[in-house]
Amino acid sequence: MIELQDVTIAYDRHPAVHHVCGSFAPGSLTAVIGPNGAGKSSLLQAIAGLRRISGGSLRLSGCRRADISYLPQLMVADDGFPISVMDVVQMGFWRRIGPFRPVTAAMRQAAVQALSTVGLDGFDDRIFGHLSAGQRQRVLFARVLVADSRVILLDEPFTAIDARTTKDLLDLVARWHGEGRTVIVILHDFEQVRRVFPHSLLLARELIAWGPTAEVLTAENLLAARAMSEAWDNEADLCRGAA
């Protein structure tokens, strides 16, 4: 269970996420949707422990931060930094072994299998920065695979990649859900959300709706999110509850 009680996340006391309450059930598959700048990434970063909340409480029941894998928005690769595909995938073991213990033969074999699962057989020694955007995203999904986390957070994982890669990676998301993992994904494609995700959280800095996707993605709720987005004032009064 991931429980949010009156959660506020603010920058210089201007809220990016404002007094959100609700919970992600264990084993749930949830799409986080909303306008640009709605606080979606800030919320996932807070769950991952990468961003401090300014007010309220965010409680993990039955898991630790080490049980969470977080995949940020599409990584921009540095061609001048010659890290191999295998090295990137094996970063998924770091929380288990730390930065100084060696990767075992069994772990390397698991990494090879993860690359095969995402359709990248034989890519072990290729330079990560030389891959296409879709290939890089497959590598990062392989890294999540080897981490074997109970909670998986994905921030816009299908942006700027082709339809085939998106389908393959969505199949992997469905597999994680079938294994009972809690998966939370930021998305913009509403048809994709309706087709694949049983639950949705519609955020526009404040919570608009949270629950079964069919009940969240209504015309009324989407209009409310849009209206709230258009009314945003970055020079508005500070949130008194924000630290």
Encode pLDDT of 26-73 as tens digits: 999 999 999 888 899 999 999 999 989 889 999 998 888 888 999 988
pLDDT beyond 60 at 241: no
**Which pLDDT value is given to residue 197?**
97
pLDDT at 155: 94
Burial group, residue 57, by CB count within 10 angstroms (0-12, 13-18, 19+): exposed
pLDDT-derived band of residue 235, with 50, 70 and 90 as boundaries? low
Q: At what angle do helices 133-147 and 163-178 cross, to 10 degrees?
A: 10
Instruction: Determine the number of helices (DSSP H) and then strands (DSSP E) in the chain.
Output: 9, 9
pLDDT of residue 33: 96
Q: What is the pLDDT of residues 197-234, one digit of tens each?
A: 999 999 998 999 999 999 999 999 999 988 887 766 66
- Whether residue 242 is predicted with pLDDT greater than 60 in this model: the reply is no
Name the token pair of 20.
Answer: 């959100």
What's phi and psi for 138, nearest 5 deg? -60, -40
**pLDDT of 1:** 85
Q: Please state whether beta strands 182-186 and 151-155 pair in parallel, antiparallel, or not at all (unpaired).
A: parallel
DSSP state letters, 140-183: HHHHHHHHT-SEEEEESTTTT--HHHHHHHHHHHHHHHHTT-EE
Q: What is the pLDDT of residues 70-94, one digit of tens each?
A: 998 866 555 556 899 999 999 998 8
pLDDT value at 180 more than 60: yes
Strand bridging mode 14-24 / 2-11: antiparallel
pLDDT score for 47: 94
Instruction: Identify the residue with better confidence: 24 or 11.
Output: 24
Identify the DSSP state of 66: G
Task: Among 151-155, 166-170, 236-240, name the one with the lowest average pLDDT.
Answer: 236-240
Q: What is the pLDDT of residues 107-160, one digit of tens each?
A: 999 999 999 999 999 999 999 988 988 999 999 999 999 999 999 999 999 988
Q: What CATH fold (topology level) applies to the domain 1-63+151-162+179-243?
A: Rossmann fold (3.40.50)
Q: Where are the domains of the chain?
A: 1-63+151-162+179-243, 75-149
